[in-house]
Chains A and B, each alone.
Chain A
Amino acid sequence: MIILETTGLKKYYGEGESLVKALDGVDLKVEQGEFVSIIGTSGSGKSTLLHMLGGLDYPTEGKVVVDGKDISTLKEDALAIFRRRKIGFVFQSYNLVPVLNVYENIVFPIQLDGNKIDEEYIDRIIKTLGLESKTNSLPSQLSGGQQQRVAIARALAAKPAIILADEPTGNLDSGTSQDVLGLLKVTARKFEQTIVMITHNEEIAQMADRMVRIEDGKVKSRT
């Protein structure tokens, strides 16, 4: 089953001579449960693509369909609600809320939605990611790897349709990167999650099931 699909996705910035074609007609399909990495150099348009997929920005042209819903036409607050239900984000710089503890950070999107927390499910995620002893800690007390694990837990918590990871290991050393990524992969499998990860690091990208290379706003090759 296809969980994510883009057709003719374009994003242009500026106009006339200063027109920048960040995305120039991207067609992408992602299957349920797949782990896809999108690789590209700086300026290739990979971040813009991720933003489009996550409903953080509107495309100039084309469609983004997530879980059967075209999100390119949604209004801003509707997009926010869509994001917290369907998308789990993992950012490079962890982006935890500094005044909330680990557990609160993890369940934050669920609570924003006013939903009841599936305690058992959350406990399993916490155990899988090895965060049992840290649930009451505040983010400032955690190492980078731990913070990123909290971010992954948060992304999984709302049982989203898809997890979008933006250079999730960019701020981590290589050992920790391997650990975190391994955990991401294992957890996704375990909880049957789909992952789209962008990175500029070939080695990291190769840990995915499938690699999509992007250059000058266009998809170049698929493996």
Chain B
Amino acid sequence: MRTFAQEILLHPNPADSAKRNDESRFLLKERNISGSMKKVSNKKIIRSLSWRTMWEKGWKNLIAVLAIALTTLLFTALFTVGGSMIESIQEATFRQIGTSAHGGYKYLSGEEYEKIRQAGGYEDISYDIIAGFGASPELNTIQTEVRYAEDKMAKWSFSYPEEGEMPHELHECAASSKVLEALGVPLRLGEKVPMTISTHDREGNERKIEAEFVLSGFWYSNDASHAQEFWVSRQWLEENIDLLEENYNSRMNERGLYHAEGSIQASIWFASSYDIDSQMEELTERAGFSDEEVRISVNWAYASATVDTVTLMLGVGILAVIILSGYLIIYNIFYINVTTDIRYYGLLKTIGTTGRQLRRMVRLQAFMLSAAGIPLGMIAGWFVGKGVLPALFEALFTDGVKKVSLNPWIFAGSALFSLLVVYLSCIRPCRLATGISPIEAVRYVDNARYKKKERKTAKVSMGRMALANMGRNRRKAVSVISSLSLSLILLSGTWCLVNGFSFDQYVKTYLLTDMQVGHFSTVNFAADASDYEAITPEVRAEIEQMPGVEQVRVPEHKGGRIDLSDEMIGKLTEYFASEEMVSESGPWLEQIVEQIQTEKATNGTIYHLGEDMMSYLDIKEGKFDPELFAQGGYALLLVNQQDKWVRVGDKLTAGSAKEALPKKELEIMAIADYPYAISTRSTVIGGVELLLSEKDFRELYDVKGGLYACLDVEEGREEEVMLSLNEMIEQEHPELVLSTKATLEEEFAGETRMFSMIGGLLSFILALIGILNLINAMVTSILSRRQEFAMMQAVGMTGRQLEQMLTMEGIWYGIWTLAISATFGNVVSYGLIYLVGKNMAYFEWHFSILPLALSVPVIGILSVLLPVICYHALCKKSIIERLRLTEV
């Protein structure tokens, strides 16, 4: 058997095909006989035949392997970026929910917890016990939960000490930096922490405990979670708090006791996050509880890691492009391979190989090549994921996505998608191999699609002949041209997108006046809740005194509650009940709407602008009457908010019973657009943003400062003012940030860099695929026409003329590619850019032919060079040798 393989290796040209075919016939017969005797299926022979057919091609397989590897690389890169984004969104959601565990139980007694722990079937379990709530006056604005927790539980709740450790000794405690700062305790281990804790005893009587703890650990809290943790030791808990000893639900129902102090909260991890609902139910059952007895909670972040629609569509779009480009090249390679080998397949068919077996042969070869290409692509993908993407992410995402997710699933997914592409690519070549009749196969010439019967006589020029040659196999030409066009379209799309970002628009969006000083939370969304009074009267005065500053204006904001009448609750319910709203916002929305309905109040952001800034408002609906407005009793609804359940004429009550503040009913006078640059830059689902008159604002709220200071600067003194501002920020107010045209320029560059890098990288790899496809098509078409060329040379075509003709073929590919990219391609890229850009305030469409123009020389050089190289490889054999091939 080895000699057969060697034979093939020694004679890689079709001249030896007769000999080879004889031997393979012999081989088949021999195997078939032994096969039928042993009743063994013929799979083995097909497999070995596929292997040898593929092996015989030698270096020609390289292109197929490279194509598969590049496709896999693209999938890996896409999934890594996508996976990392989903993971970071998920993590942000975990932090909001307060845990990363799959599920858990609330309000358990010690006995109940033990039963669940022993029920097993989960991956990990841990718990905490509620001791009470922080009741020191300094903690009024911060919800502080006092609990004991196991180390694991603390980690899962994102509240594990970064400095020091969890409390072990009686009076030790660990707390978040936010709580400690509020209490005025320096962030140093061993500091004394005075604390008032509000708790309930077993009978539900409220009790206050004054205690002094010693700080054993703390962590930096910089997330959006509502509640802060204050950990105490187990010993302290046991000495001071009554532990829950009965079932919480029955105690609540029978004795009406709601308090949760002394109860255990359990968190559970399963082996997988698949269908956590059922897994929790099964665990409950195993532990011997009914659904009514215990309170199950499921972490819905696992069910709905929602990515916004634009990102999702972009991802799906890129996936489609990769599948298409992968298909185009892999399909073309296999199609050409089968065409080249068609006589061989015809012969196999003559001697009794069935269509099914031939199909299997083609597919097997494809999968053997995948076995080499996919791991290669995954290794390259790993390097890209490890090396390129972290740097990319660093540049792209100022907050949020930092980690690169190199999950094994990403590799499994990429491999699967590549296999899918390979499988799809094989369908047509398989059909060709099986569909051909043996007699046809022997006479098959590479002009399957050349159905023309006649053509008009015209002067024979190398260019026209080249064009006709391209038309001989349209399928091949179409695949190569589409493949090349794809990368050009993407390149010009990226170019137009990046150039469409208008810096002027960007500045208008983020900067209202010459310069702006704001709290850092306005630029760092991962920061703690905003300080709406960061620009205190003192800061304002200091800025006003700076030489060069003409004017300082401070818009004011206040977060407050808005009471809703039953009528308004009705409008809200109706609005949010629509399917679309629910599916877009996920489970958050339901919870929020429910909360608003029960509380009959929602969160609001109340704005106030001085008269001299009112002109920045853009009235969208209704009529704004400044005099009437100034008299009080009216509000403007701001539509930075997307929710549209409040309309002109509706009445809302600013201020809430829960706050010790005055209340006032206000009528919506008009709906206005508020400049994003001086907004809080955050939205509250179901919340309302109102702008009040001077009179009402002062009456209702006690606001002493603002979130921003908007500066008008004397012309020519910008530099000077910037220096003084920076000095002030550095030395006195590190919580403030300065926005100027210069700082925005940097941010802008960062944002556009993301698109140019991703788009550039993608077009580069696609271009590589396109070029590979061109090389393959060129090389194979030249090889299969060896005899034809020899004959033309025999009747007197010079080498130069042949070279010219081949070059013209290459140039035709280039011309077609450019023509398609310039016409159809521009339409497609316009659509693509429109999708991505329409949601960006600072995007302006610019048409540009420049990227195409720039790629002309590249395509030109390639299309001229490739055929010439191929021709010279061809020339190594003399005309006679090549002519003789025909006589076989």
Binding site for B on A (CB under 8 A): 51, 54, 56-57, 76-77, 80-81, 83-85, 87, 89, 91-93, 95, 97-101, 103-104, 107-109, 111-113, 135-138, 140-141, 154, 158
Please name 4 further chain A to chain B contacts, defined as beta carbons within 8 Å, in addition to the given A81-B798, A93-B887, A103-B457, sorted by A numbering: A51-B880, A80-B797, A91-B883, A99-B469
B468 at the binding interface (Cβ < 8 Å) = yes
Complex-state Cα separation, A97 to B790, whole angstroms:
11
Name the residue of chain B whose CB is nearest to the CB of A100.
Answer: B460
Contact of B457 among A54, A76, A95, A136 (CB under 8 A): A136
List chain A residues, Cβ under 8 A from B454.
101, 136-138, 141
Contacts of A76 in B (CB 8 A): 799
Instruction: Verify if B800 is at the interface (C-beta below 8 Å from A).
Output: yes
Contact with A80, one of B453, B798, B883, B886 (Cβ below 8 angstroms)? B798
B880 & A99 in contact (Cβ 8 Å cutoff) = no
Return the CB mask of B785-827 against A: 1 if under 8 Å, else 0: 0011001111111111100000000000000000000000000
Chain B 575-593, CB-CB to A under 8 Å as 1, else 0, gives 0000000000000000000
Assembly CA distance A41 to B879 (angstroms)? 23
Contact B799 A104 (CB under 8 A): no
23 sampled A-B residue pairs with Cβ under 8 A: A56-B879, A56-B883, A57-B880, A80-B798, A83-B796, A85-B796, A91-B794, A92-B887, A95-B788, A95-B791, A95-B794, A98-B447, A99-B447, A99-B468, A100-B460, A104-B457, A108-B792, A109-B795, A112-B798, A135-B457, A138-B454, A138-B455, A158-B796
* 8 Å CB contact of B796 from A51, A81, A98, A138: A81
Q: How far is the CA of A92 from the CA of B791 in the complex (A)?
A: 12
B445 within 8 A of A: yes
Which residues from chain B contact A135 at a C-beta distance below 8 Å? 457
Residues of A within 8 A of B878 (CB): 57
In the bound assembly, the distance between CA atoms of A107 and B787 in angstroms comes to 20
Q: Chain A's nearest CB lies how many Å from the CB of B583?
A: 57
Report the bound CA distance from A91 to B445 in whole Å.
18
Q: Which residues of the partner chain B approach A84 to less than 8 Å between Cβ atoms?
A: 795-797
Q: Inside 8 A of A97's CB, which chain B residues have their CB?
A: 465, 788, 791-792
Q: Are B794 and A89 in contact (CB under 8 A)?
A: yes
Minimum Cβ distance to chain A for residue B885 (Å)? 10
Chain A residues positioned under 8 Å from B880 (CB to CB): 51, 56-57
B residues within 8 A CB of A154?
Answer: 795
Which 7 A-B pairs give the minimum distances between C-beta atoms? A84-B796, A99-B468, A95-B791, A80-B798, A83-B796, A136-B454, A111-B460
Chain B minimum-CB-distance residue to A158: B796
Q: Which of B453, B457, B465, B794 contacts A99 (CB 8 A)?
A: B465
Chain A CB within 10 A, most for which of B796, B801, B887: B796
Smallest CB gap from A93: residue in B:
B886
Knowing A98-B788, A100-B465, the reply to whether A141 touches B453 (Cβ < 8 A) is yes
Interface, chain B (partner A; CB < 8 A):
445, 447, 450, 452-460, 465, 468-469, 471-472, 787-788, 791-801, 878-880, 883, 886-887
* Closest Cβ–Cβ distance, residue B743 to chain A (whole Å): 64
Interface pair B794/A112, CB less than 8 Å apart: no
Taken together as a complex, chains A and B put the C-alpha atoms of A83 and B465 apart, in Å, by 21
Residues of A within 8 A of B468 (CB): 99-100
CB-based contact B445/A98 at 8 Å: yes
CA distance A136 to B794 in the complex (A): 24
CA A101 to CA B793, docked complex, whole Å: 18
A91 and B791 in contact, given A100-B465, A103-B457 (Cβ under 8 angstroms): yes
Q: Which residues of chain A are near B794, meaning CB under 8 Å? A: 54, 56, 83, 89, 91, 95
Instruction: State how many angstroms separate the Cβ of B799 from the closest Cβ of chain A.
Output: 6
Chain A residues with CB under 8 A of B799: 76-77, 80
- Tell me whether A112 and B797 are in contact in the complex, defined as CB-CB below 8 angstroms, given that A136-B456, A138-B452 are known contacts: yes
User: Could you say which residues of chain A place their CB within 8 Å of the CB of B447?
Assistant: 98-99, 140
B788: A residues at CB distance < 8 A: 95, 97-98
Which residues from B are CB-within-8-Å of A158? 796
| Contact status A108-B460, CB under 8 Å | yes
Q: Are A77 and B455 in contact (CB under 8 A)?
A: no
Query: In this complex, what residue of B is CB-closest to A164?
Result: B794
Given contacts A85-B796, A93-B887, A95-B886, contact A112 B801 (CB under 8 A): yes
Looking at B469, B793, B798, B799, the one whose CB has the most chain A CB atoms below 10 A away is B798
Query: Which chain B positions have C-beta within 8 A of A85?
Result: 796
Give the chain A neighbours of B787 by CB distance below 8 A.
95
For the complex, give the distance between the alpha carbons of A167 and B452 in Å: 30
Q: Across the interface, name the chain B residue whose C-beta is closest to A157.
A: B795
Q: Determine the chain B residues whose CB is within 8 A of the CB of A93 once the complex forms.
A: 886-887
Q: Give complex CA distance A44, B797 in Å.
A: 29
Contacts of B453 in A (CB 8 A): 137-138, 141
Instruction: Give the complex CA separation of A85 and B883 in angstroms.
Output: 20
B275 to chain A, nearest CB (A): 62
Rounded to whole angstroms, the CA-CA distance of A109 and B880 in the bound complex is 19
Distance of A62 Cα from B471 Cα, bound (Å): 45
Known: A56-B883, A93-B886, A140-B447. A104 touches B460 (CB 8 A): yes
Among candidates B469, B796, B887, residue contacting A109 with C-beta atoms closer than 8 Å: B796
Nearest B residue to A107, CB-CB? B460
A112–B797 Cα distance when bound, in Å, is 6
CA distance A77 to B792 in the complex (A): 13
Q: A51 vs B450: C-alpha distance in the bound complex, in angstroms?
A: 32
Q: CA–CA, A93 to B884, complex, Å?
A: 11
Chain B hits for A95, CB < 8 A: 787-788, 791, 794-795, 886
Q: In the complex, A103→B791 CA distance in Å?
A: 17
Contacts of A98 in B (CB 8 A): 445, 447, 450, 472, 788
B796 touches A112 (CB 8 A): yes
Residues of B within 8 A of A101 (CB): 454-457
- Closest Cβ of chain B to A94, distance in Å, is 9
CB of B787, distance to nearest CB on chain A (Å): 8
Task: For B887, list chain A residues within 8 Å (CB).
Answer: 92-93
Separation of A97 and B787 alpha carbons in the complex (Å):
10
Complex CA–CA separation, A101 to B452 (angstroms): 10
Quote the shortest CB–CB distance from B339 to chain A (angstroms).
Answer: 15
Bound complex: CA A54 to CA B796 (Å): 10
Collect the chain B residues with CB atoms within 8 Å of residue A100's CB: 460, 465, 468
Distance in angstroms between the alpha carbons of A113 and B801 in the assembled complex = 10
Across the interface, which residues of A come within 8 angstroms of B458, CB to CB? 104
Give the residue among A89, A93, A95, A109 with the most B Cβ atoms within 10 A. A95
Contact B800 A77 (CB under 8 A): yes
* Interchain CA distance A109-B469 in the complex, whole Å: 18
The residue among B458, B795, B879, B883 with the most chain A CB atoms within 10 A of its own CB is: B795
Q: How far is the CA of A98 from the CA of B791 in the complex (A)?
A: 12
**Complex Cα–Cα for A138 and B801 (A):** 22
Residue of B nearest to A102 (CB): B457
The CA of A95 and the CA of B465, in the complex, are separated in Å by 16
Q: Which residues of A contact B459 (CB under 8 A)?
A: 111
Chain B residue at minimal CB-CB distance from A85: B796
Query: What residues of B have a CB within 8 angstroms of the CB of A111 in the complex?
Result: 459-460
A126 to B193, CA, bound (A): 112
Instruction: From the candidates A57, A80, A103, A113, name the one contacting B793 in the complex (CB within 8 A).
Output: A80
What are the residues of chain B within 8 A of A104 when measuring CB–CB? 457-458, 460
Known: A56-B883, A138-B455. A83 touches B460 (CB 8 A): no
**Residues from chain A with Cβ under 8 Å of B792 in the complex:** 97, 108
Task: Give complex CA distance A99, B797 in Å.
Answer: 16
How far is A76 from B788 in the complex, measured between Cα atoms in Å?
18
Complex Cα gap A113–B880 (Å): 22
| Cα–Cα, bound, A77→B879 (Å) | 12
Give, as a whole number of angstroms, the nearest-CB distance from A89 to chain B: 6
In whole angstroms, how far apart are the Cα atoms of A104 and B799 in the complex? 20
Give B462 Cβ to nearest chain A Cβ, in Å: 10
Known contacts A100-B460, A101-B454, A108 near B795 by CB under 8 Å: yes
Contacts of B798 in A (CB 8 A): 77, 80-81, 112
How far does the alpha carbon of A89 sit from the alpha carbon of B469 in the complex, in Å? 23
Q: How far is the CA of A104 from the CA of B883 in the complex (A)?
A: 21
Please give me the residue from chain B that is nearest to A91 by CB atom.
B791
Q: How far is the CA of A13 from the CA of B454 in the complex (A)?
A: 44
